[in-house]
C-alpha cells in the first residue's frame, strides 16, 4: 500500500532536484522490484507503508553521475539505501542481536562496558559465576534492534538513519544511530513522510531544516546538495 500524500511530496522533491541539483536527480534509482521490497524483514516485519511508498518510487540513490556528493540527499550527508541494502542491514542487526541475547530482553543488543572505578581483571575458577555487577559492568546504549530497518547511511559520519518498526508510539519513526551520542538512537522525525516533507519545504524555501539539535541550510555544489550547518 502506498501513501498519496507522500507521493505528492516525492513529486515535488524530484521536480526540485531536476531543476536545481541535476547530479542528485540522476543519482536517484528507479523503483525497486516488488520482490526486493517484500524481502525486507521477511517473516518478522510488516514493512511501514512510508518505506514501501518510497521504495516503490525510488530504490534509494546511488552515486551514478561522477559527483562525490550525488545521492546524499538528506541533511547530515545521508544517502537513502536500496531495498537490498535495507534487507541486508536489517538481517545484520538480527545477527548482532542473536550474538548478544540476554535473559531480560531478547530483542535488543547489549554490549557491556566497564563501569567507572572498576578494572576488568577476573580469573575464573571454572565454578564461580560472576554477575555483571560483580564485574562492574553496565549495559551500553542500545544501537541495534531486530525491528529496526536501516533507511539511509552517511559515509561522512559512518552513522545510519533507521525506521523503527517496533509496536508503540514510535512505530514508523526515523531514528539517527550515533553510538557516541548522549541519546544513541534519538528520534529525528516522527515518520518518513515528515522527513521528506521537511526536506522539500527546506529546499523550496531555502530555509534551514533542524535535525535533532542541528540546523542545516541547503546549498548546491557541482549539481548536488551540500548541507551547511548553521547552528
pLDDT tens, N- to C-terminus, the chain (231 residues): 458 899 999 999 999 999 999 999 999 999 999 999 999 988 889 999 999 999 999 999 985 444 467 899 999 999 999 999 999 999 988 887 776 654 455 555 444 444 555 554 444 444 554 455 555 555 555 678 889 999 999 877 778 999 999 999 999 999 999 887 888 899 999 999 999 999 999 999 999 999 888 999 999 999 999 999 997
Closest of 229, 190, 188, 192 to residue 211, by C-alpha:
188
The edge-to-edge listing of strands for the beta sheet with 224-229 is 209-211, 214-221, 224-229
Half-sphere exposure of residue 167, counting CA atoms within 13 Å on the CB side?
A: 2
Q: What is the pTM of this model?
A: 0.81
User: What does the block give as the cell for 61?
Assistant: 540513490
How far, rounded to the nearest angstrom, does the alpha carbon of residue 132 sit from its chain's CA centroid?
Answer: 31
pLDDT of the residue at 33: 97
Instruction: Measure the CA–CA gap between 112 and 82, rounded to whole angstroms.
Output: 32
Predicted pLDDT of residue 120: 46
171: Cα within 13 Å, side-chain hemisphere? 9
pLDDT of residue 116: 55
Q: What is the Cα–Cα distance from 58 to 164, expressed in whole angstroms?
A: 20
Angstrom distance (rounded) from CA 152 to CA 216 = 17
Specify the pLDDT at position 62.
83
According to DSSP, residue 36 is labeled H
Instruction: Please tell me the predicted confidence (pLDDT) of residue 132.
Output: 53
Q: What is the DSSP letter of 35?
A: H
Find residue 227's DSSP bridge partners.
Answer: 218
Q: What is the pLDDT of residue 110?
A: 47
Residue 136: predicted pLDDT: 55
pLDDT at 52: 97
Q: Is 117 strand, coil or helix?
A: coil
Residue of 150, 141, 145 lying closest to 192 (CA atoms):
150
Amino acid at each position: 500500500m502506498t501513501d498519496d500524500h507522500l507521493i505528492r511530496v516525492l513529486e515535488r522533491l524530484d521536480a526540485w532536484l531536476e531543476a536545481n541539483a541535476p547530479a542528485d536527480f540522476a543519482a536517484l534509482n528507479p523503483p525497486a522490484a516488488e520482490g526486493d521490497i517484500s524481502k525486507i524483514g521477511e517473516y518478522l516485519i510488516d514493512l511501514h507503508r512510508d518505506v514501501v511508498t518510497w521504495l516503490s518510487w525510488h530504490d534509494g540513490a546511488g552515486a551514478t553521475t561522477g559527483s562525490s556528493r550525488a545521492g546524499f540527499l538528506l541533511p547530515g550527508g545521508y544517502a537513502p539505501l536500496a531495498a537490498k541494502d535495507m534487507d541486508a542491514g536489517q538481517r545484520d542487526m538480527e545477527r548482532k542481536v542473536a550474538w548478544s541475547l540476554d535473559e531480560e530482553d531478547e530483542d535488543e543488543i547489549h554490549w557491556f562496558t566497564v563501569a567507572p572505578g572498576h578494572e576488568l581483571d577476573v580469573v575464573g575458577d571454572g565454578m564461580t559465576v560472576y554477575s555483571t555487577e560483580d564485574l562492574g559492568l553496565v549495559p551500553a546504549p542500545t544501537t541495534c534492534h531486530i525491528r529496526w530497518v536501516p533507511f539511509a547511511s552517511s559515509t561522512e559520519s559512518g552513522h545510519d538513519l533507521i525506521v523503527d518498526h517496533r509496536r508503540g508510539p514510535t512505530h514508523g519513526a526515523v531514528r539517527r544511530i550515533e553510538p557516541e551520542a548522549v541519546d544513541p538512537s534519538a528520534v529525528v522525525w516522527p515518520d518518513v513522510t515528515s522527513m521528506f516533507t521537511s526536506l522539500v519545504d527546506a529546499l523550496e524555501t531555502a530555509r534551514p531544516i533542524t535535525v535533532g539539535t542541528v540546523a542545516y541550510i541547503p546549498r548546491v555544489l557541482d549539481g548536488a546538495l551540500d548541507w551547511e550547518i548553521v547552528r
